[in-house]
Amino acid sequence: GKIYPVITHGRGTDVHIQMSNVARQIFLGYRDSASTRLDQYAALLQKNRANRDELFSRRLSKLSSQCLVCG
């Protein structure tokens, strides 16, 4: 037979109520969290990019402006 979704076809049943409660708990937990994993990953990428730029600036400052190859 065909499997029907609980949320649309099971309204009023115990399973529907349980699934609604689980969905509500997940939503409230997400809403109350300070940051998501995606935000943490974006911050890590930004930190790595800033670190890379800092290292590049240090290497660039060590180059001689008088050298024909370097500058």
Sign of the torsion angle spanned by Cα atoms 11, 12, 14, 19: positive
Both tokens of 56, joined, read 């590049």
Query: What would the pLDDT profile of 4-50 be if each residue is shown by its tens digit?
Result: 777 677 788 888 889 889 999 999 998 998 888 899 999 999 999 99
Same domain, 18 and 40: no
Range of the domain at 51: 35-71
Same domain, 40 and 69: yes
Same domain, 49 and 63: yes
Same domain, 12 and 40: no
The total number of structural domains that make up the chain: 2
Same domain, 10 and 23: yes
Q: What is the pLDDT of residue 66?
A: 82
Instruction: Assign residue 23 a region (left: φ > 0; alpha: ψ between -120 and 50; beta: otherwise).
Output: alpha
Quote the CA–CA distance of 48 and 46 in Å, as a whole number.
5
Same domain, 68 and 40: yes
Both tokens of 67, joined, read 């050298």
Tokens 């290292």 belong to residue: 55
